[in-house]
Amino acid sequence: GDSVVQTEGQVLPSEGDSLIVNCSYETTQYPSLFWFVQYPGEGPQLHLKAMKANDKGRNKGFEAMYRKETTSFHLEKDSVQESDSAVYFCALSDRPNRGSTLGRLYFGRGTQLTVWP
Amino acid sequence: DGGITQSPKYLFRKEGQNVTLSCEQNLNHDAMYWYRQDPGQGLRLIYYSQIVNDFQKGDIAEGYSVSREKKESFPLTVTSAQKNPTAFYLCASSNNRADIPPGNTIYFGEGSWLTVV
């Protein structure tokens, strides 16, 4: 079945450091890929997305490349800020039929990013 | 403003009681979802509905029930059969049509905290 594995636990960079949060997926189909961000006490928000292979999602200095050959969608940023601190979830979505581009989501377990000032 | 509204924010359930969590959206989205979030386990799908009057079980449907009588509403009932209901519950809706802007979008509500007392 479909699944997502991402860097687990906490990542503790200092402000200005570069960041990579790994995400790998398994599927027999051609999924869409997402990163969500969640702040304390809130629901997740869509952070960036890539709908097909070789697409790159971008948002607020973060990037993730949809790499079909390595089944990966790693989240990267050149220089993190304290305000980036949050929980990040990688997810994939299957496509229930030809007319739709989103179906149910499969989530990784989340990565707590805490940026030190 | 358009969005998803979940209520109540906090709910306490006694042993043997059924409780219903409300989810309403005014985004005109066809698809709606219920996820459960536990620490360290990411988000797990309970039920989802791609269209009015139709819904499917997710990965952890046992002890839960839903209905989708109206496009904008997708209530979740946590029954007494759910043995470990204490969790953070998230409702989401999506526009899964690429031809209807903005396509490929998904929004989460603010969540509902359920505690068994």
- Taking the Cβ of residue A87 and every Cβ of chain B, the question of whether any pair is shorter than 8 Å is answered with no
Work out the burial of residue A98: count CB atoms within 10 Å of its CB; fewer than 13 is exposed, 13-18 middle, 19 or more buried.
exposed
Per CB-CB distance under 8 Å, the chain B contacts of A43 are 90, 92, 108-111
CB contact under 8 A, B41 and A108: no
Provide the 10 A C-beta neighbour count for residue B16. 7
Nearest to B94 among A45, A89, A102 (CB): A102
pLDDT band with cut points at 50, 70 and 90 for residue A26: very high
CB spacing of B106 vs A102 below 8 angstroms: yes
pLDDT band for position B98 (50/70/90)?
low
Residue B55 has pLDDT above 90, yes or no: yes
B62 membership: H or E segment, kind and range? none
| pLDDT at residue B41 greater than cutoff 60 | yes
Round the average pLDDT of chain A to a whole number and report it. Answer: 91
* Residue B102: pLDDT over 70: no
pLDDT tens-digit map of A49-86: 998 889 999 999 999 999 999 999 999 999 999 999 99
> Rounded to the nearest 5°, which phi and psi values hold at A84?
-80, -10
- pLDDT at position B99 over 90: no
Per DSSP, A43 falls in state -
| A40-76 burial: b if 16+ Cβ within 10 Å, else e | eeebbebbbbbbeeeeebeeeebbbbbbeeebbbbbe
Q: Which of A31-45, A65-79, A86-100, B66-80 has the lowest mean pLDDT?
A: A86-100
